[in-house]
A and B are shown apart, each in its own frame.
Chain A
Amino acid sequence: MSAWRRLRVKLRSVPGFLVSIRPTQRHTSPYGRLTLCRSLSTGSHLRNEFFKDLEAQLAAFRKKAADALPGSSWSPLQINPNLPPERADIVIVGGGVVGWSIAYWLKQKEMVRGGVRVVVVEKDPTYSQASTVLSAGGIRQQFSLLENIHLSLASADFMRNINEHLGVLNEDPVDLQFNQSGYLFLANEEVAHIMEENYSTQRYAGAKVSLLSPTQLKQKFPWVNTDGVVLASYGLENEGWFDPWTLLNAFRRKAISMGVIQCYGEVTDFKCTTNVLRTSSGDTVDLKRIGSVKVQMPNSLEYQPVECAIVVNAAGAFSGKLTEMLGIGSGPKDSIAGIPLPVEPRKRYVYVVHCPDGPGLDTPFLIDYSGVYFRREGLGGNYIAGVSPEEAEEPDTSNLEVDHQFFEERVWPGLAHRVPAFEKLKVTSAWAGFYDYNTFDQNGIIGIHPLINNMYLATGFSGHGLQHSPAVGRAVAELILDGNFKTIDLSNFSFRRILTQEPMLEKNIV
């Protein structure tokens, strides 16, 4: 229709069009009278342009007329191609590494090709606030809970054979840039016994960890100041750090090649059916079942309700907000509906520092008992450092601005004390990211919510989501498709522990 208007405007603006069509050839005689080559009329330029466009305009006009007549496939109602499908079997809310891992494993485990229709809904296509890409990217087996150790071991196995799992035909192989440098935990006198207990648990679970005395530590890593260190725990194998963006994209590419539908949009509402049950003491319990999810398109009022059978909450730092939409946490205080999902975003800073005299290629991911950590980044003497702040001084989570004062006050003293070479360093860059912090016990929540029959939770990993993502994805896929955990039993991580107020605390220091 706009081509019509343009044509009419052109017709009106050029007077005498219908009268005479006389191209301007006055001054183009090759020999003889070379009159004034430059025409002084201001309309001739527009007229020339008009005639150049004319053929194209008439062709467009003819095409438009042909489209408007019956028999053509054009329709004035354009369908937005970015909308999710109207019906899906499983909607995964959250396109981070956990969400895409679940999508991949669902497709991997389905019995029939096209057996489950999976849609992954991600709010931000640039991943600017996603925890996955802002993480330091480390993986370790040095935990105190058996389940965490098994999850890390399984994820390391997955990453070792990543091309077997996530290799797509005719595409480049996946290169995680895995640095096999290990983690080094330092313990002072108070926590040394915890470290020894953890060591025996880790050895029992099959992790390759070794304990070092201060002399052995000094011999192995001469740049460490062993002041106050009584025991050190060092990972020999399957520990190190890698590129989280590569892992995310590998999962995404493979899942899309297997038929997962990706959608950029925000989940703003749910439509549920509620079953109201009455307990023996007369209280009512609302059991909800999600019927459809309302996905709002980015920067637009358009939305699409997606009818689904199962919803997976893998929204990371924003999972608490998602369950609030379903009314979890807004019931009476002493009922199950009154207990909110204890996951909230917590801001953590990561600083990139440059120190030319720092430790070399063998630098492990060092974590001090005071909470300060650092690791090597690249080969040019750059390191990544940070610390977990105390409960009292948690920074504000409304934005991802970096507080450089925090580095001077909390990170640098610890670093300089532990590694004397770091007294002379320069902060080159910094960023901040959110932890999907589980305020209850800082461990993941995996399983169905008791009040919403078809919402699976896979969130609250508090800084370990990335390193456990392949194994957690497999566990959730087993829960959904097989009904129960098959490879690693994560029933201790269900929502039940929050109802019974039995925390599964990590006896680790960071």
Chain B
Amino acid sequence: CTVSAQMLPAVGSPPPCCQATLLLFLTQRFYDVEMLLSWRSQLTRNQLQKKNVYYGYTQRFYGLDIASAYFILSLKGGFRFAGQSEWFYADQKGKFSWDFLNHKDTPLEEVDMSYTVINYRGLCNLESQRSLRTLKLRGCPEVDDWFLARLHVFQDSLEELDISHCPRITTGGLAALRNLKGLKRLDVSSLPGISSPGLVIILLEEMLPQCQITATGYDYNLNEAEGEEEEEHMQRQR
């Protein structure tokens, strides 16, 4: 590959390759690169917030329930109306049928937002559903402790909650579940954010006595303790 003459660092050394030239170029424009990268992260954040925006327009024209339903379908989730038995889903490409418009003023009973990008802002679209019984949030990357604290709006009706595989939930957020006194089934499997899962599960069980807690996917092996024992053994041998 050709190398431009003005980028050569010194006369005697071998000419640098394209990669080194590119890196030198970027280093000399550090603040511009920093700005571009921060613009990129700002852009991704803005897109996320756009997806979770408050559907006020829909609410004004179609009512609270249809607005929540539309929000769920736009985020590629699924739901079931109270009194109906069929689920309304959006497929992978985001296409969904508009049949849900036929059921006006029917509150939602079960909502499945697994693997969607719902966050705290988006939850304000679902706050009006005070008779929500099931909420599935499996594998949602944006569900964090503040989201769990906001779930107190469903404290009277929520019976089943699934927050497994959510990477941003920590122990402080699980403490917020104390408000959901009607909770019967809770799934907290494979949460990478909690540090001592065994202890946390026991404390959760104490906190919610009427609730059946599913917590699979944790490695309760004493791997660290075994490593220490091996070290002690080797030291004694020496």
Contacts and interface: CB of A to CB of B under 8 A. Distances in A.
B19 interface: no
Interface in A225-259: 236-238, 240
Contact of A236 (B38, B152, B172, B207): B152
B207 A361 contact: yes
Given A361-B175, A362-B175, A180 B146 contact: yes
Nearest to A208: B152
B20 interface: no
Contacts of B41: 167, 169
A360 B120 contact: no
A407 B38 CA distance: 50
B170 interface: yes
A394 to B, nearest CB: 34
A179 B148 CA distance: 11
B206 A361 contact: yes
B178 interface: yes
Contact of A379 (B38, B145, B148, B196): B196
Interface in A333-366: 360-362
Interface stretch (B83-91, B158-166, B183-191, B197-205): B197-205
Interface string B41-68: 1000100000000000000000000000
For A160, A164, A180, A181, the residue with the greatest tally of chain B CB atoms inside 10 Å of its CB is A180
A360 B45 contact: no
Contacts of A178: 145-146, 172
A242 B149 CA distance: 15
B149 A180 contact: yes
A240 B37 contact: no
Interface string B196-229: 1001100110110000000000000000000000
A164 B175 contact: no
Given A177-B170, A180-B145, A240-B172, A361 B178 contact: yes
B75 interface: no
Contact of B200 (A160, A177, A237, A379): A379
Given A180-B176, A379-B171, A379-B199, A361 B204 contact: yes
B157 interface: no
Contacts of A169: 34, 37-38, 41
Given A208-B152, A379-B196, A360 B207 contact: yes
A179 B172 CA distance: 4
A377 to B, nearest CB: 12
A180 B148 contact: yes
A57 B151 CA distance: 72
A180 B203 contact: no
B179 interface: yes
- What class of interface size applies to chain B in its complex with A? 20 to 34
B150 interface: yes
Interface string B94-132: 000000000000000000000000001000000000000
A15 B175 CA distance: 79
B192 interface: no
Contacts of A208: 152
Most A CB within 10 A of own CB, among B37, B145, B206: B145
Contacts of B45: 164
Interface residues of A, number: 20
Contacts of A237: 149-150, 152
B173 interface: yes
A379 B203 contact: yes
A362 B207 contact: yes
Interface in A167-182: 167, 169, 175, 177-181
B203 A177 contact: no
A180 B175 contact: yes
Nearest to B204: A361
B153 to A, nearest CB: 9
Contact of A360 (B146, B148, B196, B203): B203
B176 A181 contact: yes
B178 A362 contact: yes
A224 to B, nearest CB: 14
Interface in B13-51: 34, 37-38, 41, 45
A99 B228 CA distance: 44
Nearest to A167: B41
A289 B155 CA distance: 57
Given A160-B120, A160-B146, A237-B149, A181 B175 contact: yes
A86 B207 CA distance: 58
A240 B196 CA distance: 21
A146 to B, nearest CB: 23
A238 B149 contact: yes
A361 B41 CA distance: 36
A379 B206 CA distance: 13
Interface string A368-411: 00000000000100000000000000000000000000000000
B202 to A, nearest CB: 9
Contacts of A167: 41
A220 to B, nearest CB: 8
A4 B204 CA distance: 72
Contacts of A362: 175, 178, 207
A179 B149 CA distance: 10
Contacts of A238: 149
Most buried by B among A160, A360, A362: A362
A138 to B, nearest CB: 13
Contact of A177 (B38, B172, B199, B204): B172
A362 B204 CA distance: 9
Nearest to A164: B45
A202 to B, nearest CB: 15
Contacts of A240: 172, 175
A251 B45 CA distance: 21
Interface string A99-140: 000000000000000000000000000000000000000000
A382 to B, nearest CB: 13
Contacts of B207: 360-362
Contacts of B170: 175, 177
A181 B152 CA distance: 12
A459 B99 CA distance: 59
Given A238-B149, A360-B206, A361-B203, 11 more contacts: A160-B120, A178-B172, A180-B176, A220-B178, A236-B152, A236-B179, A240-B175, A360-B203, A361-B175, A362-B207, A379-B199
18 contacts: A160-B146, A169-B37, A169-B38, A178-B172, A179-B171, A179-B172, A180-B146, A180-B172, A181-B176, A220-B181, A236-B179, A237-B152, A361-B175, A361-B204, A361-B206, A361-B207, A379-B200, A379-B203
Closest 9 CB pairs of A and B: A362-B178, A179-B172, A180-B176, A361-B203, A180-B149, A236-B152, A362-B207, A160-B146, A360-B206
